Structure 1
Amino acid sequence: MRASAKIFWILGVFFLIVAVAYGFVTGRYEPMGIEPVGFPALLALAGLGFMIAMVLTLTIRHNELNSSDDSDAEIAPNAGVQGSFSPYSWAPLWAAIGAALCFLGVAAGWWIFAFGIMFAIFGILSWVLEFSVGQHQH
């Protein structure tokens, strides 16, 4: 986890430097001033990198070392249950179709967005409730 924190600190600094340089160049050479989309987007990327790095750094301080932090560690200490997944589940497909239609609807037409919302709600509810009904019921 220490390596991940270092990577995100580096990414945050990199995007901050790029944002300042981009703002300076567009402010100097563009006739309308600083470009209103790219500069805030780069600042947001820098902020996101710093936020993730801070969370990882604080997590490292409160938890013991992970086996990924030890160069002599084996894979076995991290073995175990990684989650509970339903085999043959169609719910992720419906949720993905809903998300794709929502993104397409924003670009092409709001009526497509409405169909995307319907597919997404069906997919997400199916995904959340799939262990409450059917053959995988508890």
Structure 2
Amino acid sequence: MRVQAFMFYGCAVFFLVTDIVYWLWSKDWTGTTALALSVGLAGLVGFYIHFTIRRLEKANNGPLYEDDPEGEIADAAGELGFFSPHSWWPLFVALSAAAVALGLVFGWWLVIAGLAASLLSTIGLVFEYYRGHFSH
């Protein structure tokens, strides 16, 4: 996984060089700002992946199975996490976010209603498995 971090670092360097060349040739603030934000985003993702992998390697007392040149496919077997197969909450979160975005176009009243719906649907998504039939 360390390769993915260096891929994002490489993207950040590429965007930085592109940003400098773009600024020197065009003197356009909009494109330069967009490319600068791309540099920051690629660097941020690379930084997160790099230090998350370092923490996981310390926890595993060695490289992860995907970084081991002698690793087997069976080394990756096991539980990968919990994924909700039946949740409707992501749909409600997306609809409320769309209401906020449309509120920026049509009126502040829709922004307020969308923010309220976003808050309620996010709370529902986060606390879905804390009560009721599927609590654990």
Shorter-normalised TM range: 0.7 to 0.9
Normalised TM-score (structure 1): 0.78
Shift in CA distance, 86/19, structure 1 to aligned 2, threshold 3 Å: same
Matches of residues 87-126 of structure 1 in structure 2 within 5 Å? 87-126=85-124
**Structure 2 residue aligned with 1:5:** 5
Q: Distance in 2 between matches of 1:67 and 1:83?
A: 17
Q: Distance in 2 between matches of 1:112 and 1:100?
A: 10
Q: Distance in 2 between matches of 1:135 and 1:10?
A: 47
**Structure 2 residue aligned with 1:26:** 26
Report the alpha carbon displacement of residue 84 of structure 1 after superposing the two structures with TM: 2.6
Shift in CA distance, 103/75, structure 1 to aligned 2, threshold 3 Å: farther
How big is the alpha-carbon RMSD for the aligned residues of Structure 1 and Structure 2? Answer: 2.2
Report the alpha carbon displacement of residue 74 of structure 1 after superposing the two structures with TM: 2.8
Normalised TM-score (structure 2): 0.79
Shift in CA distance, 80/115, structure 1 to aligned 2, threshold 3 Å: farther
* Percentage of pairs with the same residue: 34
Q: Distance in 2 between matches of 1:89 and 1:58?
A: 31
Gaps of 5+ in 1: 28-34
Q: Distance in 1 between matches of 2:41 and 2:100?
A: 24
Amino acid at match of 1:53: G
Count of residue pairs brought into register by the alignment = 131
Q: Distance in 1 between matches of 2:97 and 2:7?
A: 30
Matches of residues 43-58 of structure 1 in structure 2 within 5 Å? 43-58=36-51
Gaps of 5+ in 2: none
**Structure 1 residue aligned with 2:66:** 68
